[in-house]
Amino acid sequence: MLHIHDTLSRTKVPFTPVEAGRVRMYVCGMTVYDYCHLGHARMLVSFDIVQRWLRASGLQVDYVRNITDIDDKIIRRAVQTNRRIGDVTSFYIDAMHADERALGVQRPDHEPRATAHIGDMLDIIGRLEDKGLAYRAEDGDVNFAVRGFAGYGKLSGKSLDDLRAGERVAVAAGKRDPLDFVLWKAAKTDEPDDTKWQSPYGLGRPGWHIECSAMSKSLLGLPLDIHGGGPDLKFPHHENEIAQTEGAFGGVLANVWMHCGPLMVDDDKMSKSLNNFRTIRQTVAMGEPDDTRADYVVNPREAEMVRFFIARNHYRSPQNYTPDNLNDAQNALDRLYQALANVAPDDQGVDWNEPQAQAFKAAMDDDFNTSGAVAALFQLAGDANRTGSARTAGQLKGLAAILGLLQQDPQAYLRAPTRYKLGGAVPSAAMDDHAIQALIDARAAAKRARDFAEADRIRAALRDAGVELEDKPGGVTNWRRV
């Protein structure tokens, strides 16, 4: 049975959907004002694997991951670049989708945009006002009164007094309490017209937190089976979601709360605010991406390396980004592909009675323990190399598919250039396939002429250039970049 660590209860709980056989999962998505970085990649890949495993377990999944397309940062980007809000958000949504394709992240079943749910947000705000949980401030904003909601702080595990709101939240004019947060922002005269909507409170726009309450309730109903997001959303975003949704409708917002761990850089969380981030496209593009275009040419070997780098760690654990860690992930993924290159897999699908398949399932049912699942893949790779069994190789490829791995042609994968190998940049990246094959042909001619010294010289030259040769029976020579 699947068990999931629930952030709210701080325990691992057996997972039982509200409706048998169906999972309603909502994950907080991107605020689309810039390119996605590797910290975002961790969230995208982690929850992609979650939904893949739920489906592989025979469950019907309704997966919603929203897009925040109205926000202070988006407005600033539009003003700075003299573009309309819709043009800014459309460009970065296309860029996000390009990143998802590169990383093998499947699209959610629903991808709502906040601006399409303004009416739902206003309905919730009206309910909160009727219950005395929302009030109109002197500056025209509508705020949530946190001290009117008895459960505030239960997700973060802190009392109102512990939260020290003055250090976390700027105290706006008209707030009754520093912790109160904005549900509806009154329009400002210097903001673009396309950032303003009519409401019972005058022209304005929604606060960030109310957006997800409206979209999750509208598309999935209450309670959600799973609500997920990045590590920085637990407080205040998810705490505020709980307060406004449960305050408006009663009951609980979600039965299980999931938060992936942070991606760290030298003990600091990777983030735009710290300026220590690296974008997904910078990491996986073939060459330097053109930042005037949303799409880019992907290096498939490096893109799958990033996915594997994320998948080999448990989703809740902090993960440290360093070039050496990427190098190590690339080398490990290469070993799995080499097993499939050595032994062609059959196409019979996964045999769940096989021991490593059972180990894989046990790991994934234990709070999506992908590190344990990857260990089962390496065991299968070793068995395939040792026995030459196509069935074992088929098991390896079939189980890896559930994690979104090992679906490329092994030979094409191993011949693709990569920057992420021990020793830094790979010299063979400058040598195209035709040049490599010409040297292999010259080596074969030298061997036929019994000029073994020349054959050895060519092999050594290719090795120095990062190309490894493998002589097979019948005079066939395979090669791969290392």
What are 202-226's pLDDT values in tens digits?
A: 999 999 999 999 999 999 999 999 9
Is 288 annotated in some ligand binding site? no
Q: Is 241 annotated as a binding residue?
A: yes
Query: Is position 272 annotated in a ligand binding site?
Result: yes
Helix (H) or strand (E) segment spanning residue 67 = strand 60-68
Structure-derived torsion over alpha carbons of residues 430, 434, 436, 437, reported in degrees to the nearest 10: 170
d(Cα 104, Cα 307) in Å, to the nearest integer?
A: 8
pLDDT given for residue 425 in this prediction = 46
The structural domains of the chain, with segments of one domain joined by +, span 3-264, 310-415, 433-481
> In the predicted model, is pLDDT for residue 431 greater than 90?
no
Report pLDDT digits (tens) over 146-170. Answer: 999 999 999 999 888 777 544 444 5
| pLDDT tens digits, 437-447 | 899 989 988 88
The confidence score (pLDDT) of residue 433 equals 87
For the segment 342-371, the average pLDDT, to the nearest whole number, is 97
Q: How far is residue 23's CA from residue 98's CA, in Å, rounded to a whole number? A: 27
**Range 3-264: architecture per CATH:** 3-Layer(aba) Sandwich (3.40)
**Per residue in 395-409, pLDDT tens?**
999 999 999 999 999
Annotated ligand binding at 211? The verdict is no
% of the chain with per-residue pLDDT over 70: 94
Of the candidates 401, 389, 385, which has an alpha carbon nearest to the alpha carbon of residue 350? Answer: 401
**The tokens of 356 are what?**
């490593």
Is the Cα dihedral 350, 355, 358, 362 positive or negative?
negative
Sorted by sequence, the CB contacts under 8 Å of residue 346 that are 6+ apart come out as: 390, 391, 393, 394
And the tokens for 59?
Answer: 């469950």
Model confidence at 200, pLDDT cuts 50, 70, 90, reads very high
The residue type found at 200 is: P
**Comparison of pLDDT for 264 and 217, the residue scoring more:** 217
Please choose, from the candidates 363, 429, 346, 439, the residue with its C-alpha nearest in 3D space to the C-alpha of residue 402: 363
**What band does 430 get if pLDDT is binned at 50, 70 and 90?**
low
For tokens 């049975």, name the residue.
Answer: 1
Residue 209, annotated as binding a ligand: no
User: Which one of 1.20.120.640, 3.40.50.300, 2.40.180.10, 3.40.50.150 gives the CATH number of domain 310-415?
Assistant: 1.20.120.640
Q: Which residue has the higher pLDDT, 300 or 269?
A: 300
